[in-house]
């Protein structure tokens, strides 16, 4: 081969070599630029538990009649504010055969007891006047006679109320339903004219109205079994109401259930907290609420974004990829501390000024697949 041809071939090969080097350099640079980087920083970290639940009145009672009858008048409406002792409704007593027979039987029994006590009293009175018995024995017989007389009168009154409705001979005896606590009328499940049943040991009775003190509210919610061990009664928490523009109310944890309940396959524990409600705030019973319970707090903590963390598929240990001087990335194991779900404390493995790869799951899986194809 002639010398000029060799020179030309050499120049061409040299040019191709330079072009290949430049191409790969640019390609590597482009690959590095595909990833953004982030740096560690100092911030405050608060770890907290979020419990979901509802806000309900601490004191809520159902008003029920002591005698069966018909609702004659309802004096209030739902939402009305009442004081203790206010009249809520009137119940008209309706006589029935069974009740009349029972009332008449009580009269006969009471009259028999009174006759016996009266006979004993008259006998002892004569004996006492003759000095045969002591004053104490005479007074005992007098007391027994007076008590039996009152019982007879009460039995006769009850019979008249049931039979005629009132002692004055009216068509119905009214029994009043009175507010037992100050508060707000939450519900009135009956209407005028409805028949109601008395509350006793054998029957829950008909609810006339529900009254609650809306100035004293409690939060009742659920926490997971993995978090309940971190809670202590008496700690201060925050209750957030989404229905009132995410308004926050201070509260104090008062109860942590000693036993959990299985809900949808997970064990949940009930918690309760007293909530401080401003009088100017319009709170309604049953509002959905979240309780934020702060467990631990650290100021000026060395952190990174939690999204920068990666985990070894085999050991499940956390690591990050730190950019080296040549633009490539190096995997570095890290020791973690507190986390608030957004930022995480770094105890070891990263230092100030490090540039950490910003990655996402999809890109990492694609890179792993590409590496696997190359290896194959």
Whether residues 273 and 325 share a domain: the answer is: no
Domain hosting residue 38, numbered range = 31-46+299-375
14 falls within a domain: no
Strands 343-348 and 356-358, bridge-based pairing: unpaired
Q: Which residues of 155-184 are buried (b: 16+ CB within 10 A; e: fewer)?
A: bbebbbbbeebeeeeeebbbbebebebebb
What pLDDT sits at residue 195?
87
Whether residues 242 and 151 share a domain: the answer is: no
Strands 310-311 and 318-323, bridge-based pairing: antiparallel
233 falls within a domain: yes
Query: What is the rounded CA–CA span in Å between residue 172 and residue 30?
Result: 96
Whether residues 320 and 336 share a domain: the answer is: yes
20 falls within a domain: no
Please name the helix (run of DSSP H) or strand (run of DSSP E) that holds residue 293, with its range, or none.
Answer: strand 287-305
Structure tokens at 344: 């995480």
Which DSSP state fits 132?
S
Q: Taking the chain (376 residues) in consecutive chunks of 10 residues, what is each chunk's mean pLDDT?
A: 65 74 63 74 87 90 84 91 92 70 83 92 90 85 89 81 52 74 91 84 85 89 88 90 83 92 89 85 85 86 92 91 88 90 90 87 47 41
What pLDDT sits at residue 170?
44
What CATH number is associated with residue 279? 2.40.30.170
Total domains in the chain come to 4
Whether residues 81 and 185 share a domain: the answer is: yes
Whether residues 183 and 73 share a domain: the answer is: yes
Query: What is the rounded CA–CA span in Å between residue 3 and residue 9?
Result: 10
Whether residues 289 and 309 share a domain: the answer is: no
What pLDDT sits at residue 6?
67
Give the three-state DSSP class for 192. Answer: coil
Of the candidates 185, 212, 239, which is a domain's last residue? 212
333 falls within a domain: yes
- 330 DSSP β-pair partners: 322
What CATH number is associated with residue 85? 2.40.50.100
21 falls within a domain: no
What pLDDT sits at residue 266?
87
Of the candidates 260, 295, 330, which is a domain's last residue? 295
23 falls within a domain: no
pLDDT tens digits, one per residue of 219-254: 999 998 888 888 889 999 999 988 887 788 899 999
Whether residues 205 and 229 share a domain: the answer is: no
Whether residues 152 and 201 share a domain: the answer is: no
Query: What is the rounded CA–CA span in Å between residue 42 and residue 122?
Result: 98
What pLDDT sits at residue 31?
46
Query: Rounded to 10 degrees, what is the CA torsion of 35, 40, 45, 48?
Result: 30
What CATH number is associated with residue 141? 1.10.287.470
Determine the angle formed by the axes of helices 97-129 and 135-164, rounding to 10 degrees: 160
pLDDT tens digits, one per residue of 254-268: 999 999 998 888 899
Query: What is the rounded CA–CA span in Å between residue 56 and residue 198?
Result: 27
Whether residues 202 and 71 share a domain: the answer is: yes
pTM higher than 0.75 for the full model?
A: no
Query: What is the rounded CA–CA span in Å between residue 127 and residue 133?
Result: 6
323 falls within a domain: yes
What CATH number is associated with residue 35? 2.40.420.20
CB 191 within 8 A of CB 70: no
pLDDT tens digits, one per residue of 132-154: 888 888 888 888 999 899 888 88
Whether residues 81 and 190 share a domain: the answer is: yes
């Amino acid at each position: 081969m002639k010398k000029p041809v060799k020179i030309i071939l050499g120049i061409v090969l040299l040019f191709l070599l330079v072009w290949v080097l430049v191409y790969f350099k640019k390609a590597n640079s482009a690959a590095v630029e595909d990833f953004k980087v982030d740096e560690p920083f100092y911030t405050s970290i608060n770890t907290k538990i979020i419990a979901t639940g509802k806000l309900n009145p601490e004191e809520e009672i159902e008003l029920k009649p002591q005698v069966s009858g018909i609702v004659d008048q309802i004096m209030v409406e739902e939402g009305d504010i009442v004081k203790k002792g206010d009249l809520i409704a009137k119940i008209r007593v309706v006589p029935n055969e069974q009740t009349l027979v029972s009332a008449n039987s009580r009269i006969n029994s009471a009259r028999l007891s009174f006759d016996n006590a009266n006979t004993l009293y008259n006998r002892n009175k004569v004996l006492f006047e003759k000095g045969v018995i002591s004053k104490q024995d005479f007074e005992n017989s007098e007391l027994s006679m007076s008590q039996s007389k009152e019982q007879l009168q009460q039995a006769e009154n009850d019979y008249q109320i049931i039979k005629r409705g009132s002692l004055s001979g009216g068509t119905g005896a009214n029994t009043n339903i009175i507010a037992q606590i100050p508060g707000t009328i939450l519900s009135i499940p009956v209407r005028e004219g409805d028949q109601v049943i008395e509350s006793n040991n054998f029957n829950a009775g008909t609810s006339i109205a529900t009254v609650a003190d809306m100035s004293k509210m409690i939060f009742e919610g659920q926490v997971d079994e993995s978090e309940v061990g971190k809670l202590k009664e008496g700690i201060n928490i925050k209750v957030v109401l989404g229905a009132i523009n995410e308004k926050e109310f201070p509260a104090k944890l008062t109860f942590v259930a000693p036993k959990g309940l299985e809900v949808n396959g997970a064990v949940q524990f009930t918690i309760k907290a007293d909530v401080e409600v401003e009088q100017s705030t319009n709170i309604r019973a049953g509002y959905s609420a979240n309780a934020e319970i702060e467990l631990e707090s650290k100021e000026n903590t060395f952190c990174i974004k939690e999204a920068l963390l990666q985990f070894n598929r085999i050991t499940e240990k956390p690591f990050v990829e730190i950019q080296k001087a040549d633009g490539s990335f190096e995997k570095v194991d890290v020791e973690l501390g507190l986390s608030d779900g957004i930022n995480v404390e770094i105890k070891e493995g990263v230092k100030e000024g490090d540039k950490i790869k910003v990655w996402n799951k999809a890109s990492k899986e694609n890179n792993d697949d590409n590496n696997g194809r190359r290896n194959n």
